[in-house]
């Protein structure tokens, strides 16, 4: 009972999401549905005209049709006249065919427009929603799988709506009218034609579940394959550097073989389904031909009725087969919209009620902060310190000791639980500050700088799109990048490859630093962002920071003592705790990690040995 309730809720959720995506394309789909219905009416009318021509106009059989039909016939001169001028009946068939062509054209155009509008709406909403999801969500979900859901699953859903759902109205019209005409012509032959129908519909429902399970496995493994490709393409330097091409190729081929096997397995299920349906459809058509001919020989049907009945039976087979196809495609679409819904249902990052935009030029305080990533050990343990406004704070620690985590918490890329302490800026808890405002006022140069596939100028000005060329160059000079960029043939218009692959590690770091300097934020964080530059360049950049941004609060995270030596305060983290705290001069005269690192980097320990 509980499982049924869950399925109902899932179906309700999927329907609601589909209607949300259909906003903007409903009218176009309505036009396509009506056009499909009109096409079905044209299909119905043609066999009736042929029947009239054979039985009434040429055969002279007494007519028994509806009054509107007889009124049209009488207006044309009656069946006797039409028999002598059979071209009129041929012209009527031609007109019906032209109307069918027009309705099919309208259907195709409106359906294509609706389909593309639907895809655009889905992609826009998915991208917009993904952009607003928390950083923690992105850490848990693979990029390749997200891309697969936003492309392959979107196309599967689009195809179902455009090719299957829009045909429902036409199918209904065809089935209702076909059955009406067939029953009016011969009840027994109609019943015979319907004998295989329950079997066809029944096993379509059985295959529905199998197809859904098979397609889900294929879809999930396509996501894994996409993720593998994405990782290898973005990490091509690492793959080449370690001569790991063969190993990665073997991994890809193994996953691709497994993925291919899943599709082959699904194809076997679908082949069994379609071939059995073909057999049943063939048997049904054979029964109608044999019994219909028998009824004609015995005089229970006219020749015109027999020809029309065969035409209607052919039309009836299509919607029944289409219904079976719709059921299988519904399985695929159900899987796809479910995977899309998992993204759309993920809660967006939201501000707490009453969040506001205070000045962010005050003291930064960490009060008894502890933090652990989901399902992981505690990274930070009861960290407390105060950074005066406009000062420079240095942080040094070993790898994995929580340096970057501190900054992610300050920038609210990761949310600090209420019970795990608090972080304030100017006395205001950052949970009460609007996240967009907070990040707008914190310049963050991350450990691994990311550059987009744009020009150098566009990458630097990405956070300040209104900045002019002079401002971009000024920030680049401060980051010691201007000289290197000027040496390029296209200067700041040089196109940067994906993830900045056309630049060296130091140039990428300096471009990221220039980007942050251009934003003129009251708080600036440099997370080990000078590691790829030489000592001389490091000193120049630090000097520029002191001269240009004396009022900004600057946080320097580094493994280099020289980078931190002029900071107003230095924190030493050890296993997620503050083990030492003070100025450079104070720390080098204390026993501990800082002095050990200082002696190693300055060569004092080697001299002592």
Q: Is 354 helix (H, G, I), strand (E, B) or coil?
A: coil
Q: Please give the Cα distance from 86 to 58 (Å, whole number).
A: 8
Residue 533: the pLDDT is: 65
Element holding 95 (H helix, E strand)? helix 87-131
CA 92 to chain centre: 50
Q: What angle do CA 474, 478, 480 make, to 5 degrees?
A: 110
Outline where DSSP puts E strands in 300-377. 364-372
Walk along the chain (609 residues) in steps of 10 and give the mean pLDDT of each run. Answer: 72 84 88 84 78 74 70 76 80 87 90 90 92 86 83 87 77 76 80 76 69 76 78 69 76 86 83 76 81 83 78 74 70 84 89 90 92 85 92 84 86 89 93 91 82 84 81 84 84 75 76 84 83 68 68 85 86 88 89 85 58
- Which residues, including other chains, have CB under 8 Å from residue 69's CB and lie 6 or more apart? none
Beta strands in 398-534 (DSSP E): 422-425, 428-429, 442-445, 523-527
Instruction: List helix spans (H) across 235-244.
Output: 236-241
Decide the pairing of beta strands 523-527 and 442-445: parallel
- The Cβ of residue 422 has, within 10 Å, a number of other Cβ atoms equal to 14
Distances (CA, A) of 335 to 13, 125, 168, 329: 13, 19, 20, 10
pLDDT at 41 (0 to 100)? 80
Residue 342: Cβ within 10 Å count: 11
Rounded CA-CA distance 445/451 in Å is 12
Q: Which CATH architecture has domain 2-344?
A: Up-down Bundle (1.20)
DSSP states of 357-395: -----S-EEEEEEEEE-TTS-EEEEEEEEEE-TT-EEEE
Domain range list for the chain:
2-344
Per-residue model confidence (pLDDT) at position 129: 92
Query: Under 8 Å CB-to-CB from 360, ≥6 apart: which residues?
Result: 425, 426, 433, 437, 438, 441, 442, 522, 523
Phi, psi dihedrals of residue 489, rounded to the nearest 5°: -60, -35
| Maximum Cα–Cα distance across the chain | 124
- What does residue 367 show for φ and ψ, rounded to 5 degrees? -120, 105
How would you class 358 by CB atoms within 10 Å of its CB: exposed for 0-12, middle for 13-18, buried for 19 or more? middle
Hey, which residues does 435 pair with through a beta bridge? none
* Residue (of 90, 88, 92, 84) closest to 58 by Cα position: 84
Q: Rounded to 5 degrees, what angle do the CA atoms 221, 225, 230 make?
A: 145
SS (H, E, C) 25-51: CHHHHHHHHHHHHHHHHHHHHHHHHHH
Q: How far apart are CA 527 and CA 532, in angstroms?
A: 12
Instruction: Judge contact between 412 and 435, C-beta under 8 A.
Output: yes
Q: How far apart are CA 349 and CA 316, in angstroms?
A: 52
Residue 204 and residue 197 in contact, taking contact as beta carbons nearer than 8 Å? no
Q: Long-range contacts made by residues 36-41, C-beta under 8 angstroms, separation at least 24?
A: 36/103, 36/107, 36/166, 36/167, 36/169, 36/170, 37/169, 37/170, 37/173, 38/99, 38/103, 39/100, 39/103, 39/104, 39/107, 39/170, 40/170, 40/173, 40/174, 40/177, 41/173, 41/177
SS3 of 495, please?
strand
Question: What was the pLDDT predicted at 66?
Answer: 66
């Amino acid at each position: 009972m509980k499982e049924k309730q869950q399925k109902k809720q899932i179906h309700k959720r999927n329907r609601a999401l589909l209607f949300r995506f259909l906003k903007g394309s409903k009218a176009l789909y309505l036009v396509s549905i009506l056009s499909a219905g009109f096409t079905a009416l044209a299909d119905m009318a043609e066999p009736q005209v042929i029947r009239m021509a054979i039985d009434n106009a040429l055969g002279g059989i007494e007519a028994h049709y509806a009054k509107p039909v007889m009124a049209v016939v009488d207006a044309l001169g009656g069946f006797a006249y039409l028999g002598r001028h059979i071209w009129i009946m041929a012209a009527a068939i031609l007109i019906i065919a032209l109307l069918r062509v027009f309705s099919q054209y309208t259907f195709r155009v409106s359906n294509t427009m609706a389909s593309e509008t639907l895809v655009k709406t889905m992609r826009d909403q998915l991208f917009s929603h993904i952009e607003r999801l928390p950083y923690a969500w992105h850490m848990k979900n693979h990029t390749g799988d997200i891309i697969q859901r936003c492309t392959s699953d979107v196309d599967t859903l689009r195809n179902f709506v455009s090719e299957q759902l829009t045909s429902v109205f036409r199918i209904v019209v065809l089935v209702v009218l076909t059955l009406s005409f067939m029953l009016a012509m011969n009840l027994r032959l109609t019943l015979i034609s319907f004998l295989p129908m329950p079997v066809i519909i029944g096993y379509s429902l059985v295959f529905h579940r199998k197809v859904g399970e098979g397609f889900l496995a294929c879809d999930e493994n396509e996501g894994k394959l996409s993720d593998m490709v994405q990782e290898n393409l973005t990490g091509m330097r690492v793959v080449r550097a370690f001569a790991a091409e063969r190993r990665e190729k073997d991994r890809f081929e193994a996953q691709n073989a497994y993925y291919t096997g899943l599709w082959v397995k699904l194809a076997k299920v679908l082949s069994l389904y379609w071939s059995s349906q073909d057999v049943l459809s063939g048997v049904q058509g054979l029964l109608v031909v044999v019994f219909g001919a028998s009824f004609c020989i015995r005089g229970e049907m006219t020749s015109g009725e027999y020809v029309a009945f065969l035409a209607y039976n052919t039309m009836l087979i299509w919607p029944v087969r289409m219904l079976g196809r719709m059921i299988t495609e519904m399985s695929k679409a159900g899987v796809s919209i479910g995977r899309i819904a998992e993204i759309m249902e993920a809660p967006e990052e939201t501000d707490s009620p009453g969040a506001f935009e205070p000045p962010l030029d005050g003291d930064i305080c960490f009060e008894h902060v502890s933090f652990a990533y989901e399902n992981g050990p505690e990274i930070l343990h009861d960290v407390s310190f105060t950074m005066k406004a406009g000062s420079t704070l240095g942080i040094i620690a070993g790898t994995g000791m929580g340096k970057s985590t501190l900054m992610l918490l300050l920038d609210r890329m990761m949310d600090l639980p209420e019970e795990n302490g608090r972080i304030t800026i100017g006395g205001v808890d950052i949970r009460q500050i609007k996240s967009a405002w907070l990040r707008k006022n914190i310049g963050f140069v991350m450990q691994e700088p990311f550059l987009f596939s744009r020009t150098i100028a566009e990458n630097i000005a990405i956070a300040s799109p209104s900045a002019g060329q002079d401002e971009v160059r000024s920030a680049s000079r401060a980051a010691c990048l201007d000289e290197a960029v000027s040496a390029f043939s296209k200067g700041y218009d040089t196109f940067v490859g994906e993830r900045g692959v056309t630049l060296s590690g130091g140039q990428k770091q300096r471009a990221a630093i220039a980007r942050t300097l251009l934003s003129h934020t009251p708080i600036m964080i440099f997370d080990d962002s000078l590691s790829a530059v030489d000592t001389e360049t490091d000193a120049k950049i630090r000097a520029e920071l002191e001269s240009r941004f004396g009022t900004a609060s600057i946080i320097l995270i580094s493994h280099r003592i020289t980078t931190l030596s002029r900071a107003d305060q230095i924190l030493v983290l050890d296993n997620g705790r503050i083990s030492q705290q003070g100025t450079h001069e104070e720390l080098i005269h204390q026993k501990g990690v800082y002095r050990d690192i200082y002696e190693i980097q300055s060569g004092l320990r080697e001299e002592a040995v």
